Amino acid sequence: MLFQVEMNVEIPHGLDPDMIAQLKETERLRAQELQRSGQWRHLWRVAGRYANVSIFDVESNEALHGILSTLPLFPFMRVSVTPLCRHPSSIHSDDR
């Protein structure tokens, strides 16, 4: 199943800068691992915001929730999920 996921990161002011830097590095490594596995299909930065729009390819809603909750910055995210399905007018036979 494909899902469009919008993640807005809202780190509270006053958190330890070293802890934030470590969280961001761990987040980067986890995101790259999920991309390599094919579960995190696309990842785009939203210009001007600490946010992204992503496409995930996972077997269920529960699987997506499980993945998102493993992200180190998850406690600081507002997440919006939209399930996707193929459009009948698409000229592509795959999920490009």
Strands 51-57 and 77-84: unpaired
Tens digit of pLDDT per residue, the chain (96 long)?
A: 999 999 999 999 999 999 999 999 999 999 999 999 999 999 999 999 999 999 999 999 999 999 999 999 999 999 999 999 888 888 887 765
Q: Mapping DSSP to helix (H, G, I), strand (E, B) and coil, where does residue 46 land?
A: coil
b/e 57-76 (16+ beta carbons within 10 angstroms → b): bbeeeeebeebbeebbbeeb
Would you tell me which CATH number, out of the four given (1.20.1250.20, 3.60.20.10, 3.30.70.1060, 3.40.50.1110), belongs to the domain 2-84? 3.30.70.1060
User: What's the rounded Cα separation, in Å, for the pair 62 and 94?
Assistant: 23
Check residue 3 and report its DSSP letter: E
Q: Mapping DSSP to helix (H, G, I), strand (E, B) and coil, where does residue 71 land?
A: coil
Kindly list the domain boundaries of the chain, sorted by start residue.
Answer: 2-84
> Given this model, what pLDDT does residue 91 score?
86
